[in-house]
Amino acid sequence: MSENLNPFAIAQAQLDEAAAVLQLDPDMHAFLREPMREFHFTIPVKMDDGSTKTFQGFRVQYNDARGPAKGGIRFHPDETIDTVRALAAWMTWKTAVSDIPLGGGKGGIICNPRTMSPGELERLSRGYMRNIARYIGITQDVPAPDVNTHPQIMAWMLDEYEKLMGWHEPGVITGKPLPLGGSQGRTPATALGGLFTIREAAKARGLSLDGATCAIQGYGNVGSHAHQLAGQFGLNVVAVSDEFGAIYNPHGLDHKVVTDHLRRHGKVVDCPETEAINNAELLELNVDILIPAAIENQLTSQNAARIKAKIVAELANGPTTPEADNILNDKGVYIIPDFLCNAGGVIVSYFEMVQNGYQFYWDEAMVNERLDQKITTAFHAVHTMSQSKKVDTRVSAYLVAVDRVAEAVRLRGWV
Ligand code: GLU
């Protein structure tokens, strides 16, 4: 039978496995398998050529027992309601494993932002906000950036929300530009948080990071910042990729050279002093650390057996299928599961909400120190659970997170 690559089916199967280990009450299990609320809508946008194009948008509030739903908005041509549901479920487990007082949600628009002008993107972003404004808020649901969305898009959405409401409410969306109430350190936070978990996983594995080699798949906000910051942790990044291809240099890739090339040519391939390889080859390189930092379903039953890394740090959401998980675990690969590894973004989003609430802002050193504390504590909760229950790290991350969400649901008397 071929592998089921539907992300929501995968998210549910992962929960089912954890529920069995936890001996979760069947009624609770049934409740946690489904999103609590979802919104589907159309967004008509006036295009530059005078035509009107209708886009489809979604917002899923998967679970808000522990606090307001929280999660980003993706702009992607392959977006479906099931990807958004899966990502919203993973946000629920992410905020719980990080022990921040928030639930999980996610949004998406089916669109290809590469083919749209800045004006079209602004009208699309504002149209999305007009559709969800009445269902979100600092006490209900707080969106943020994700794949193909960035601080400027957050700024347009914030402005649309505040215009509709008639008051300022910066905490309604995170990942904002600094002048509009963004947090220091938010943009690199996902990458930095992931590197903190790699540092801890390496210690747990008895692996020195000094000169350890690393390949990064994806060169958006997360992958590019992971490359930029990796040197501070002793890592030598030898390969990176974007959607057009990958580049490799066994002696290491300089972040500035790669980003300059990307800025000028729109892709990483053909960067000076690098060899062009393809994305599949990048994943299978003989490196110590592999960082998938792109999209779902990259490590599958088709390639998992050929992965050589000792640590797979999932900075992307859902990069590994359950079949690949089994293969990698059998090979003894240490997987830092996505909703732990990439929790740095939402942790600093939470800090951003806190700062917006107080209208008092922290410096970057303070943000990074608190991020380190939160994510390192989360890492050890998961690592210790995996050792005590003798389960793999993904199942143990689910055990920690699901237990916390289930407790909040129970205390509220929902189940
Ligand atoms: N989109 C990021 C994630 O998947 C951040 C979400 C947030 O900050 O709310 O974790």
Look at residue 290 and tell me whether its pLDDT is greater than 60. yes
Which pTM was predicted?
Answer: 0.98
Q: Which of 91, 138, 142, 315 to mutate to test the pocket of ligand 1 (most atoms within 8 A of CB)?
A: 91
Tokens of 194: 């992931």
Helix (H, G, I), strand (E, B) or coil at 91: helix
pLDDT at residue 258 in the model: 98
Domain ranges of the chain: 35-173, 189-341
The pLDDT of residue 211: 97
Residue found under tokens 């994806």? 218
Radius of gyration of the chain (CA): 20
| CA–CA gap between residue 398 and residue 94 (Å, rounded) | 9
Task: Give the pLDDT confidence score for residue 197 in this predicted structure.
Answer: 98
Q: What's domain 189-341's architecture? A: 3-Layer(aba) Sandwich (3.40)
* pLDDT > 80? residue 1: no
- Say which CATH superfamily domain 35-173 falls into: Leucine Dehydrogenase, chain A, domain 1 (3.40.50.10860)
- Which residues are bridge partners to 143 per DSSP? 71
pLDDT tens digit string along 224-274?
999 999 999 999 999 999 999 999 999 999 999 999 999 999 999 999 999
Instruction: Count the Cβ atoms, other than its own, within 10 Å of residue 227.
Output: 23
For the Cβ of 61 lying below 6 angstroms from any atom of ligand 1, the answer is no
Q: Give the whole-angstrom CA distance, residue 142 versus residue 144.
A: 7
Q: Which atom of ligand 1 is nearest to the CA of 74?
A: 1
Which residues are catalytically annotated?
A: 106
- Among 94, 74, 82, CA closest to 35: 82
Q: Which helix (H) or strand (E) holds 334?
A: strand 334-336
Tokens of 41: 């809508």
| Alpha-carbon gap, residue 323 to 314, rounded angstroms | 16
Ligand 1 midpoint to CA 3 (Å): 27
181 Cβ closer than 6 Å to some ligand 1 atom: no
- Say if ligand 1 is within 6 A of residue 298 CB: no
Distance CA(178)–CA(159), nearest Å, equals 14
Burial of residue 56 (number of CB atoms within 10 Å: 0-12, 13-18, 19+):
middle
Same fold, 35-173 and 189-341: yes
72 lines ligand 1 (CB under 6 A): yes
